[in-house]
Amino acid sequence: MQSAATERGGAWSIAKIIAKQEGVRGFWRGTSAGIVHALPSISIYLTLYEQLKSFMDGDKSIHASFRPPVAGAAARTLAVLVTCPLEVVRTRLTIPSTSSMGQSGVIHSLNNLFREAGFRSLWTGITPMLYRDVPFSALYWSVAEATRTYLQVEHTCSIWCFNDKFSSRRLH
């Protein structure tokens, strides 16, 4: 079975079709909605991660190696729950055939979606988003914090010392 891009001749052909049918602006459809989604999502995620990790650092009953994945998974879960409606609108704004959304803004699109499909429709697809994002966040923060700790313990010199070792002589 061939994909739509293969049937039409690949990415270049698709780009020509978009340019012809929608103009140059068609390449950026949904960008504003993507930004409107990304800013609160990342802000919530990183703020919650740091707060949860700090809270757990005070609780010595939780082993230090479990704190980053638990904080990362919890922070991502809450960020997805809060920003899922923006993700749904962002996705719908990038689809040209979604007639009820049209080329309107994010707020107008949220109102239309709520009126046409109800409150629950704002969280369409939340389960796959959680399955995708939560394990990734747990794994990411486990590796990131372990790497940060390793670099702080094993390589106590500053970045200037690090650069000097690479530029002036080989490492031993």
Q: Please report the pLDDT score of residue 59 as a whole number.
A: 85
Tokens of 85: 């409606």
Q: Please report the pLDDT score of residue 34 as a whole number.
A: 76
Q: Please report the pLDDT score of residue 162 as a whole number.
A: 52
Q: Please report the pLDDT score of residue 73 as a whole number.
A: 98
Mean predicted confidence (pLDDT) in 44-61: 93
pTM, 2 dp? 0.68
DSSP string, 100-158: TTTT--HHHHHHHHHHHH-GGGGGTTHHHHHHHHHHHHHHHHHHHHHHHHHHHHH--S-
Summarised one tens digit per residue, pLDDT across range 138-168 is 999 999 999 998 888 766 655 555 555 554 4
CA within 13 Å, CB half, 59 = 13
Confidence at 40, pLDDT banded by 50, 70, 90? very high
Mean predicted confidence (pLDDT) in 59-86: 93
Mean predicted confidence (pLDDT) in 28-42: 82
**Is residue 31 pLDDT above 80, yes or no?**
no
Q: Please report the pLDDT score of residue 28 as a whole number.
A: 80
Q: Is residue 34 a contact partner of residue 91, using CB atoms and an 8 Å limit?
A: no
**In the predicted model, what is the mean pLDDT of the chain?**
80
Confidence at 37, pLDDT banded by 50, 70, 90? confident
Closest to 107 in 3D by CA, of 126, 93, 94: 93
User: Which residue type occupies 95?
Assistant: I
Closest to 70 in 3D by CA, of 144, 143, 139: 139
Q: Please report the pLDDT score of residue 74 as a whole number.
A: 97
